[in-house]
Each structure stands twice: as C-alpha cells, then as structure tokens.
Structure 1
Amino acid sequence: MSTFTKNPRPILFPLLCVFGMVAAIMTLSYGETKTTAAAKKKIVFIAGNPSHPPGEHEHRAGCMLLADQLNKSGLPVDAVVTTNGWPKDNSIFDGASAVVIYSDGGGGHPAMRQLDELKKLAKQGVGIGCIHYAVEIPKGEPGDTFLDLIGGYFESDWSVNPHWDASYKIPKHAVTRGIKDFNIRDEWYYHMRFRPKMDGVTPILTALPPAESLTRPDGPHEGNPAVREAVLERKEPQHTMWVYDRPAKFGRGRSFGFTGGHFHKNWKADDHRRVVLNAVAWIAGIEVPADGVPSKTPTDEEMAANLDKKN
C-alpha cells in the first residue's frame, strides 16, 4: 500500500488549505463586487421630447450630460437616462433612489398621466427632482400633487417665465457645497407656488428680479397683479431653486425644483451645473462632498453630444 493511501493527510491537508484560501479569496472578491454594485444609488433621468429651437430645452443632451458627470464623479452612483418622455416600462424605476425630470411641462408634462406612479415612488422614499419647464404642471390635482411631492411648482396666472440676469448669493446647505456666488442669464421662473408657510421647503437660489422682467402684458406666464405687487412694490426676492424635505405622509424623501436650464450652454457654467448635480446627489441620499460633486467643465464636444435634431 502506498504512503499516500496509508496517510493522505500530509499531502491533502496543505492542498485543501490552498484550495480553501483560493475559494475564500474568490468569494470575498465576488462579495465585494456585489456589495459595491448594491451600494450604488440608481438615479433615473426622464428626458422630455424635443422642444424649442436648437440650444434650448435640450432635454436629452442635458440629461445625458448630467448623468455622465455623475457617473464619472467617483460617487456611488448609477445614473441612467430614458428619453422622449415617461418610460414605457416602469421597471426602470426598480431600485431607484431618485428620479429627475427635465422636460416640457404644463398639460403635456410627462407626469400628467403618471401622478399615481410618482406618488408611489415618493412613498418608497425615492427622491424627486424637476428641472426648468418640468416644474410647471396645471393647477388642481396635478399642482396639489407637486406641492406635496416637490414642495412647489409653476402655477399659471401666478408664476412668470421671463429671461433675465440673476445674481445669486449662495446660502449654506449641503446642496450648495463648493458653489460660489454667481450671475447668469436664463429663463428663470419665479413667483412660484410653494407649500403654505414654506413648510419643509428651503430656498437655494434667490434673487430680486429686475423691473424689466415684468414688462410683458399680463398673461398666464407673462405677468399678473400679484407678482407685480410682490416684485415691483414690495421688492420681494424670488426663489428660483429650492429643496424640500418631504414629511412622513409623503414618503420622507427629498426633492428639488430648479427653474433654470432653458439654455443648454449654461450647463458649461461650473456653479450653475454643479448646484444641480449636488441637488441630484442630495435627493438620492448621497453625502455631498465638502467641495461639491466632482465635476469637470464639459468640453465643446461633450456639450454638442446628444443634441436633438431640430429645424
């Protein structure tokens, strides 16, 4: 009988140890990969249909640019983009930590027929963000839903949408980390309809609009006696970006509204872009770094990528 048959332990034991160590390393490595992937916060961008002249309301290009910046930031993020309005398959929201809508609004808002789905996501604690025209939805049930879910909205015959140069003094908040005071021209909506007493709402970008922003005749978007009194007579600064801590009955999540974003070129402005990236990270439950979300100024090629074909 061979030595191996008589006493296999001297040879088998070291081999088993080696195999065990390899298996353990492979398991640990695989486990770490799974843990890392699971730890990432999924962010779903909903880009609206093509709209406006070239360089304006570039929903697809804007969403893809912001998603790319987040995915390259080094933060635990998995940002995905769905285009041409509300996705046909709601399974894209499975496991989502935040949903950001950048689209046209009003009666054609992508969420108009999806308010119940939006409420469901909010009840799950999913963060909700709306950019530019996506903050406008008809008053009534849709508007009341937005008051509950994002803290405020553009209400026709109350809010206005002029183009003007806004100068912002930046307050202290997680969303403003790394952001300096800045000035930029955009179609900054203002005189928004907010929750009573601004309950749960924190202004992020606030400025006093110039009188020139109210030179148009009264209309559903252009002007009204209430906004003229507030801005021209009482000189009340207006909030053009806000964040919202939703109460328990609405899911205890986070939301934001950002009224800029009309001009695609403005995403190249570092503070304008980063304050939105910070807000997206914040509503997803990610700790915003002390210097803000890492974000390199987009190149001309990156800015030109994914633009809609428009006449």
Structure 2
Amino acid sequence: MKFLSLLCLAATLAHAAPSYDQSGVPLEVDSPDPKLAKIILLASGPSSKAMAHEYFAGCALLMDWLKQQPGVWPVMARDWPKNPAVLAGAKCVVYFGDGGGKQPFMEPQRWAALTRLMDAGTGLVLLHQAMDFPKGPEGDRVKDWLGGVFRSDIGCRGHWDMTFSKIGEHPVTRGVKPFAAPGDGWLYNMHFAGTGVTPLLVGTVPEKSRSTADAKKHPGRDEVIAWAFERPGGGRGFSFTGADLHVSWTYESQRTLVLNGILWSAGLNVPAGGAKASFDPAALERNLDDKRKPAPKK
C-alpha cells in the first residue's frame, strides 16, 4: 500500500510543472477580527538547491493549512513584515529559514519588536536551520524562549535517513504516528534549557555524523529532533530540525506535528486527533524559489 502511494505521488509530481510565480501568495494581510489567533509566518529568502530549503513555498503551505484551523488567522511575510503593525497581538511567530546569524530579526529594531512579543508570552516556532545561532546574547535569549538552540561548538548536522518510532506524549504529538523521513537534513545535540523541555521526536543518527567532541561522548544515544518548551514566565516554544527537503511535507505525521506545534505554541487547543488539513501533492510544485541556472550565453 505504501509503495503504491509513493508511485501515485511520483506520478502526480511528474505531471505538475514547477511554478516560480509567488505573486499569488497574500503577504502581510492582517486579521479582520481580533478574536482570531494571529500567527506570523516569516519566510527566509532563496537558499540551497531546488526543492531544498524552499522556505517561501513551505510557509505558503503552512499558511494554507493554518487557514483550515478554526479560529486561526495566519499572516505571512518575506523575512520580516514591511508593515510592523501586523505583528500586534500575534499569538505565535514562526520562522522557517536560514540560521547562523542570518535570521531576519537580528537587527536591533526588529530584535526589540520580537523581544516585546516574547515578553508578552507570544509563542515561538523555529524550523530546520532557524535555531542555529552563533555564540552571543541573542542565542542565549532565544534559548530562554525556545528551550534550545543549535551551536557549532557541540551541535551536529547533516543528511541521512531517519525513522521516528518513539513519539513522545504531549499535545503536540496528538495524531502523530511513527514515520520515516529518508535523506532529509537534520540538526541535533542542542544547547537546551535546564528545565521545561519535552522531547517529542527522537531517533538514531549515524555515528559518523557525531562531528563534535561533545557528541562523540554519547555513542548510540537517540538524539532529539523536535521538542516543546514551556517558559517559566509564560509562553511556549516548539522546534523541529527537519524539513530541509520540500518533499518531506508529504509525510502526514510531519505535517501534523508542525501544525500541532504551532497551535500549541500559540496557546491554542490541539484537537484530540491532531490538526487536520487537506493536502494536495501538486501544491509542492507551487511558489518555489527560482534556483534555475541561467542559460549559457551563446
């Protein structure tokens, strides 16, 4: 059955022409009703190769799925809102993009705005490389908000197959079943907060991926790939280090996990069976960053 499903997906994608036109994605459309839970989606710019690090297209998918959740109003922006007013009253900020100090909120004015939101109890969700911070006070603050950050002194990263057979007990894992994610990109061995962190997805990593001295101290240990965090002073955080490959959004359990994590971080109730949203495989070919090489000059 699983093989037939993969064949059907491959056939669907083979007949879908990639679209690099992103003009149809509504950006910075503020909520018409203050009763709706506003969730900010920040999409990083082009990165990596085609069908990897598709941050804009990935956020467009998340926006569509969040629109299907009762009482939710997603607001999507490129990097950071041109109109900062749309941040007012946000229940959660989600950033899907590059890290290593490239996060769009690192400049002073934006950092101040993000700090005000976090101090007010706004949730924070960082996906894939977004939780990678250089040593410094900003990363320390993010660890206080998110529960963990990646740093190159102890952290490891790379591409390999993973199978998640151990699913933690938490509202974020409602409806999440064991699943495999072949060839995706992962980060692990974080700097975690001392308390309040709940591992959600753990799995076996290749021993050769343990590239730091600290990681090599823990051979055979299952590593945390997703976690939830409750801040001592109020507010929540969720992080998932996968979603490097755009095709990974076809995994139902990954979609459910991330949607649940966003809802939970926003302080919303996660349905008993997890967040449900319709998925069209052809949507993976829409709103892509144009990473095609220019034609050679004649």
Assess same fold via TM > 0.5.
Answer: yes
The residue that corresponds to 1:303 in the other structure is 284
Aligned residue number for residue 156 of structure 2: 160
Task: Identify the residue that residue 28 of structure 2 maps to in structure 1.
Answer: none
Tell me the CA shift for residue 236 of structure 1.
Answer: 2.0
Of 273, 285, 294, 2:267 maps to 285
The whole-number CA distance in structure 2 between the counterparts of 1:133 and 1:59 is 11
> Aligned partners of 1:43, 1:107: CA distance in 2, in Å?
23
Instruction: Give 1:50 deviation, angstroms.
Output: 0.8
Post-superposition shift, 1:255?
A: 0.9
**CA distance in 1: counterparts of 2:100 and 2:253, whole angstroms:** 28
Residue number in structure 2 paired with 1:106: 100
| 2:181 match | 184
**CA-CA distance at 1:87 after TM superposition:** 2.2
Of structures 1 and 2, the larger Rg is shown by 1
Q: Which amino acid aligns with 2:272?
A: A
Name the amino acid aligned to 1:72: Q
Instruction: Please report how far the alpha carbon of residue 274 of structure 1 lies from its aligned counterpart in structure 2 after TM superposition.
Output: 1.1
- Please point out which of 41, 45, 48 is paired with 1:49: 45
TM-score by structure 1 length?
0.79
2-side partners of 1:274 and 1:119: how far apart? 28
Q: How does 1:62-141 map to 2 (within 5 A)?
A: 62-73=58-69, 75-83=70-78, 85-113=79-107, 114-141=110-137
Please report how far the alpha carbon of residue 208 of structure 1 lies from its aligned counterpart in structure 2 after TM superposition: 2.3
- Give the superposed CA RMSD: 1.4
**Structure 1 SS opposite 2:186:** coil
**Residue 136 of structure 1, CA deviation:** 0.6
Q: Specify whether residues 297 and 213 from structure 1 end up closer, same or farther in structure 2 by C-alpha distance, changes over 3 A only.
A: farther
Aligned counterparts of 1:212 and 1:298: Cα–Cα separation in 2 = 37
- State the distance in 1 between where 2:128 and 2:135 align: 17
Is 1:269–1:297's contact at 8 Å kept on the other side of the alignment?
A: no
Residue correspondences, number: 257
Tell me the SS of whatever aligns to 1:273.
Answer: helix
**Post-superposition offset of 1:95:** 1.7
1:241 partnered with 2:226: yes
Tell me by how many angstroms 1:88 deviates: 3.0
Q: Which runs of 4+ in 1 moved over 6 A?
A: none
Paired residues of 1:115 and 1:145 also in contact (CA < 8 A): no
Query: How far is the alpha carbon of 1:147 from its aligned partner?
Result: 1.1
Q: Is the 8 A contact 1:158 1:224 kept in 2?
A: yes
Q: In structure 1, what is the equivalent of residue 257 of structure 2?
A: 275
Q: Is the 8 A contact 1:119 1:149 kept in 2?
A: no
Per the alignment, in what secondary structure is the counterpart of residue 40 of structure 2? Answer: strand
Unaligned runs of at least 5 residues, structure 1: 1-35, 215-222
2:101 and 2:273 map into 1 onto residues whose CA distance is 38
2:276 to 294, 297, 310: 294
The 10-residue stretch of structure 1 (111-120 or 53-62) with the greater mean CA deviation from structure 2? 111-120
Gaps of 5+ in 2: 1-31, 293-298
TM-score, length basis structure 2 = 0.83
Q: Which moved more, 1:43-52 or 1:111-120?
A: 111-120
Which moved further from structure 2: 144-153 or 104-113? 104-113
Once the two structures are TM-superposed, the CA of residue 292 in structure 1 deviates from its matched residue by: 0.6
SS at match of 1:189: strand
Q: What is the CA distance between 1:140 and its match in structure 2?
A: 1.6
| Aligned 8 A contact 1:103 1:133 in 2 | yes
CA distance in 1, matches of 2:33, 2:82: 25
Deviation string, structure 1 residues 44-78 (Cα, Å, up to 9, x no partner): 100011111110111110001011011023x2110
1:224 — aligned with what? 212
Q: CA deviation at 1:299?
A: 2.4
Question: Deviation string for 1:103-126 (max 9, x for gaps)?
Answer: 111121212223332221111111
Q: 1:256 Cα shift?
A: 0.9
Partner Cα separation in structure 2 for residue 178 and residue 298 of structure 1: 19
Residue 146 of structure 1 and its aligned partner are, at CA, apart by 1.2
User: 1:261 matched to which residue of 2?
Assistant: 243
